[in-house]
Structure 1
Amino acid sequence: MPFRSALSGINAASEDLKVIGNNVSNASTSGFKKARAEFADVYAATQGGSSNAIGSGVRLASVNQNFGQGNIEFTDNKMDLAINGRGFFVLDNNGTREYTRAGSFQVDREGYVTNSSNKRLVVNNADEEGNITGDVGALRLDNSNIKPKATSRLDVGINLDSEQTPPTTQPFDPEVSNSYNHSTSLTVYDSLGNGHLATMYYVKGEEPNTWETHMFVNGKSAKGEQTPPYTGDTLKFDGSGALASINGEAVPPGMVSYSGIDVGAGGDPLNIDVNLLSATPTTQFGTKFNVNALSQNGFTSGRLSGFDIDDAGMIKARYSNGQSKVLGQVSLADFSNPQGLRPLGDTTWAESFASGAALNGTPGSGSLGSIQSGALEGSNVDLTGELVKMITAQRNFQANAQVITTADTVTQTIINIR
């Protein structure tokens, strides 16, 4: 009798409707991947087979997921991340690795970047210098003050006017304006992050193409001298205006070094190298004094003020003291057979034997996609297509139900034969 075959058809249509219903209900779920019910016939074959054998119905063979790309929807939250291409975000669920395409993240009370299920985003961590290391772990945003850095280097690029004449007042004294030709200043920092005013003075020498330079910090000589005459460093230029030597030593390196500079305020003494051959070198041309480059490498303490994530997944923090630092790089995972991943709910999947081992990498490397910050990947469900499939599943259900009705009528007719 066909009852069993028709009943299997009804069950198959019901399973198909369940899959379609799940797709439709998640049409607006970020990172959701639609599924498809696949069926196989049931064939009761005897040994040796038979050309007259009739099938016994249908069964649900598998429910396969479609990991096609969903639409990228832009948001106003930099913590929202979308993958444009292959790959999955890696999540840490109490030591267990899980994978997702849903990139809606926030910061929990401990500073960890988590999703709505409190699973932490896994990244390739950076060291104190901002270099990406092989250490992989949960990303944590530290809101405490970053340590200050004492100034150890100045990069100076100036032009000294070759037409200048030696000052009328000798010897050099920073308190006497006509005892030097030019000066320039900037702020340097000690080991506690306190700022100190550093001023460099330039005095035209009696010998052609020579200048004398002095540095004072907080109005005191960087060499520790208290009163004039102050010991300067001699700069000599060649006929083309390029720096040729410092204190009689040929350049490069082009450094004037000061050590043990007492700045008070409890900070350690400063040791500073003044680089006169930076990217914009110091010159002596026949034009007016001009400062082309002036920078230093120290900074005061600061707090986290924001961060940015680029398409390579690099997470760069910005601090209130104007500094920036790389905190890590988003880690992505790919699989030889993504359809073999085991669904866990909450738009996450787990590795399985069928999927193969996770292939970890960074955004943009190999076949992995890039990261879009301030965006989310939408569901890849096509509602129009799902509604059409729903109608088809409904017709299949009705047709199988009609087979049972017809078979019942035939059975009643046979029973009623006398």
Structure 2
Amino acid sequence: MSISITGMNAARSQLDIASQNLTNSETNGYKSFRAILGDVYAQAGTASVDMSGVTLLGTQQAFSPGQLTQSGNAFDLGIDGKGFFVLGNNGEEFYSRAGLFNQDKEYYLVDPSGYRLRGFAVNNQGVVDTSKLVDLQVSKADRPGKATTKASATINLNASDPVIDRTTVALNPSDPRTFSWYGALNIFDSLGEQHTLGSYFTKTGINRWRLEFHLDGQPFIHARPTEELTFNSSGLLTTPADAQFSLTPPVLSSGAVLHPLAMDFSGITQFSTDSAFRSLAVDGQMAGSLNQVSFGENGFLQGSYSNGEQYLLGQVALATFPNDNGLVVSGNNKWMSSMVSGNPLFNPSGLNGAGIIKAGFVEQSNVDLASGLSDVILAQRNFQVSAKAFQAEDLLSQTLINLT
């Protein structure tokens, strides 16, 4: 009868495990279990075997990946391949496949239990530092501006414009009759404030133009008070040959600094078509405040700023283990490492065996409902068979008792 009891206990364990799997069929990142059974003998290795039944040796998780599905949440992450998210809580590290994250009140990225997502920081040069792990936190600090040092433009000046006698008509920015065409571009000082650099072109004679720069409506000091441009009969610039202008900035009352500015107008022409900037390139940028944060591919944490720029704020790390089956279940979609699992290796997405992080996706449970239901039926049948054997043994025992 004791053998039948071990069979019923083993079947009950199988039923518990199958029920656990089915119950967690919708749990993100859940990995299904299976029962490992072993035969039991009172004496083994002898000619006479004293059979004692069956026992549950243990449970084993299947770390096959679950399906990745889009979630619509910008902070959700899924892993396509091996690896685990690294979570920190009061100095302890946990590992998870359930990538459901959000920001807490201190702007740390956390899972539903409040455990902080760990990854790699970004240094001052904008490069990911993979030498150590940090708790990923969204910095709300503004991004500094960058002063403009160079600009280039391809310009056409309308050859059909009338001549303006600069000896009798002085430049007046508020009176368009005193110049032929005005082109403006934005430049930035060391504090990221935007300024308007105006280029006033005046046709002073046949194939001759005068160029005068203004900054925020005031004359701009540069190498020469004015620049004289001369074109040939084909509309191409002849003097100055390089059309490179070096501008010396004025002192700003704000305390910011404008850097010396190298202007490249080497693509300037004079054809009988509208005057315009055909192409324009300016370095530098204005200061920016954080507008939005999201994950990009490969677990890069990115910030979008009011100046139109995107900056890298960090990168999610993935942990891989020599033996995933050595991980210890912690609950709430988490595991802890052990001597059996081996020490974790921390890598960015897609490197050294780590899977690819997919932004906006979450991993579903890897439970197969059809297999789970069949496991329940098999466990139930195993229990019934052992119960029938127990019933038969009980009947034989009663018969023997009656005979005595």
TM-score range, shorter chain: 0.7 to 0.9
- Pick one of 225, 234, 241 that aligns with 1:231: 225
**Partners of 1:215 and 1:15 in 2: CA distance:** 86
Q: Would the aligned equivalents of 2:245 and 2:263 in 1 still touch at CA under 8 Å?
A: yes
Q: What are the equivalent positions in structure 2 for 1:49-198 lying under 5 Å apart?
A: 49-50=46-47, 52-134=48-130, 135-144=132-141, 146-161=142-157, 163=159, 168-170=164-166, 173=171, 175=173, 177=176, 181-198=180-197
Is 2:386 the partner of 1:400?
Answer: yes
Q: Would the aligned equivalents of 1:317 and 1:325 in 2 still touch at CA under 8 Å?
A: yes
- Pick one of 253, 263, 266 that aligns with 2:252: 263
The structural deviation recorded for 1:201 is 3.2
The structural deviation recorded for 1:106 is 0.8
**Partners of 2:233 and 2:38 in 1: CA distance:** 90
The structural deviation recorded for 1:337 is 1.9
Task: Check 1:256–1:130 CA distance in 2 against 1; reply closer, same or farther (3 A cut).
Answer: farther
Equivalent position of 1:13 in the other structure: 11
Task: Check 1:290–1:314 CA distance in 2 against 1; reply closer, same or farther (3 A cut).
Answer: same
Q: Would the aligned equivalents of 1:89 and 1:121 in 2 still touch at CA under 8 Å?
A: yes
Q: Would the aligned equivalents of 2:147 and 2:192 in 1 still touch at CA under 8 Å?
A: no
Task: Check 1:46–1:345 CA distance in 2 against 1; reply closer, same or farther (3 A cut).
Answer: closer
The structural deviation recorded for 1:173 is 3.3
Q: Would the aligned equivalents of 1:155 and 1:293 in 2 still touch at CA under 8 Å?
A: no
What SS is found at the alignment partner of 2:384? Answer: helix
**Partners of 1:417 and 1:92 in 2: CA distance:** 69
The structural deviation recorded for 1:271 is 0.9
TM-score, normalising length: structure 1: 0.83
Q: Would the aligned equivalents of 1:148 and 1:298 in 2 still touch at CA under 8 Å?
A: no
Task: Check 1:166–1:272 CA distance in 2 against 1; reply closer, same or farther (3 A cut).
Answer: farther
Task: Check 1:56–1:311 CA distance in 2 against 1; reply closer, same or farther (3 A cut).
Answer: same
Q: Would the aligned equivalents of 1:218 and 1:263 in 2 still touch at CA under 8 Å?
A: no
**Partners of 1:242 and 1:405 in 2: CA distance:** 108
**Partners of 1:394 and 1:72 in 2: CA distance:** 32
**Residues 208-227 of structure 1: CA distance to partner in whole angstroms, max 9, x if unpaired?**
8x8764432111233289xx
Task: Check 1:115–1:411 CA distance in 2 against 1; reply closer, same or farther (3 A cut).
Answer: same
Q: Which one-letter code corresponds to 2:269 in the other structure?
A: Q
What SS is found at the alignment partner of 1:386? Answer: helix
- Pick one of 352, 362, 365 that aligns with 2:338: 352
**Partners of 2:154 and 2:148 in 1: CA distance:** 20
Q: What are the equivalent positions in structure 2 for 1:292-371 lying under 5 Å apart?
A: 292-371=278-357
**Residues 221-259 of structure 1: CA distance to partner in whole angstroms, max 9, x if unpaired?**
33289xxxx61457789999998997x8x7xxx864434
**Partners of 1:91 and 1:237 in 2: CA distance:** 68
Q: Would the aligned equivalents of 2:128 and 2:315 in 1 still touch at CA under 8 Å?
A: yes
TM-score, normalising length: structure 2: 0.86
Q: Which runs of 5+ in 2 are unaligned?
A: none
Task: Check 1:110–1:58 CA distance in 2 against 1; reply closer, same or farther (3 A cut).
Answer: same
Q: Which moved further from structure 2: 104-113 or 282-291?
A: 282-291
What SS is found at the alignment partner of 2:358? Answer: strand
Task: Check 1:211–1:169 CA distance in 2 against 1; reply closer, same or farther (3 A cut).
Answer: closer
Task: Check 1:198–1:417 CA distance in 2 against 1; reply closer, same or farther (3 A cut).
Answer: same
Q: Which moved further from structure 2: 231-240 or 305-314?
A: 231-240
- Pick one of 17, 21, 24 that aligns with 1:23: 21
Equivalent position of 1:274 in the other structure: 262
Q: Would the aligned equivalents of 2:247 and 2:263 in 1 still touch at CA under 8 Å?
A: no
Q: Would the aligned equivalents of 2:156 and 2:277 in 1 still touch at CA under 8 Å?
A: no
**Residues 57-112 of structure 1: CA distance to partner in whole angstroms, max 9, x if unpaired?**
11212211111121222222111111122221111222222111101111000000
The structural deviation recorded for 1:7 is 1.8
Q: Which one-letter code corresponds to 1:17 in the other structure?
A: L
**Partners of 1:60 and 1:25 in 2: CA distance:** 21
What SS is found at the alignment partner of 1:64? Answer: strand
Task: Check 1:34–1:120 CA distance in 2 against 1; reply closer, same or farther (3 A cut).
Answer: same
What SS is found at the alignment partner of 2:133? Answer: strand
**Residues 112-165 of structure 1: CA distance to partner in whole angstroms, max 9, x if unpaired?**
010011111112212344322235311111234x14414323432213349579
Q: Among all aligned residue pairs of Structure 1 and Structure 2, give the percentage whose two residues are the same amino acid.
A: 30
What SS is found at the alignment partner of 1:416? Answer: helix
Q: Which moved further from structure 2: 194-203 or 326-335?
A: 194-203
Equivalent position of 2:403 in the other structure: 417
**Residues 351-382 of structure 1: CA distance to partner in whole angstroms, max 9, x if unpaired?**
22222222222223343322222221111111
Q: Which moved further from structure 2: 199-208 or 34-43?
A: 199-208
Matched residue pairs, number? Answer: 399
The structural deviation recorded for 1:40 is 1.3
What SS is found at the alignment partner of 2:269? Answer: coil
